[in-house]
Amino acid sequence: MIHCDMFLALLASREHLPAGEKQRLAQIDFPSAVERSKLNLWKPGDAIQKEGRRLLVGIATYSGLELTMLDTINCVLTSAKGPQIRVDVFDCDLVDGRENLDLYVPGLHPILHTPIAGLWIDSQTATQCCGFDARKFVGSLFEVPMSDRHFK
């Protein structure tokens, strides 16, 4: 059984702090957590994989549920059974205005809730979704219910 909590630890390890401070520090430490994972931090202008499958996930670093989702993705990618897919991530709170989210996942409207997910296959848009639909989609892509933190 694989147990991962690197992303959730951005919040959980700071339980003693006020919520605002805990969230601010989680946002600051998010890029270094991504560097230590199988995920890739992405922003508009960065290279985009042209062949194969690419998943882009935007999360709110203050959401334990969404950080747990990244932990789950990371653990699946670490396992031998993980799918062949590149996973890029970004912090939605660092995007300047909702209109600029279109630079990340073009054409996804309206975006009412995080997380945000977009799947490209051979650089062609295949799926775009947000909120509960994004969690459900990502779970199906990795064959793991996103409510589970432990899996084989």
Quote the number of domains for the chain. 1
Contact 143, 136 (CB under 8 A): no
CA gap 39, 16 in Å, rounded: 28
Q: What is the mean pLDDT of each run of 10 residues along the chain (152 residues)?
A: 77 88 92 95 92 96 94 88 88 85 80 91 92 93 67 32
Three-state DSSP class for residue 142 = coil
Identity of the amino acid at 74: N
The CATH number of the domain holding residue 31 is 3.40.30.10
For residue 59, count other CB atoms closer than 10 A to its CB: 23
129-133-136-70 Cα dihedral, nearest 10 degrees: 60
pLDDT of residue 53: 95
Taking the model in full, what pTM does it have? 0.89
pLDDT of residue 149: 45
pLDDT of residue 147: 55
What is the residue range of 41's domain? 2-151
C-alpha distances (whole Å) from 108 to each of 8, 101, 117 are 27, 9, 9
Percent of the chain as helix, strand, coil, to the nearest 5: 35, 20, 45
Cα angle for residues 15, 25, 146 (degrees, 5° grid): 70
CA gap 27, 94 in Å, rounded: 9
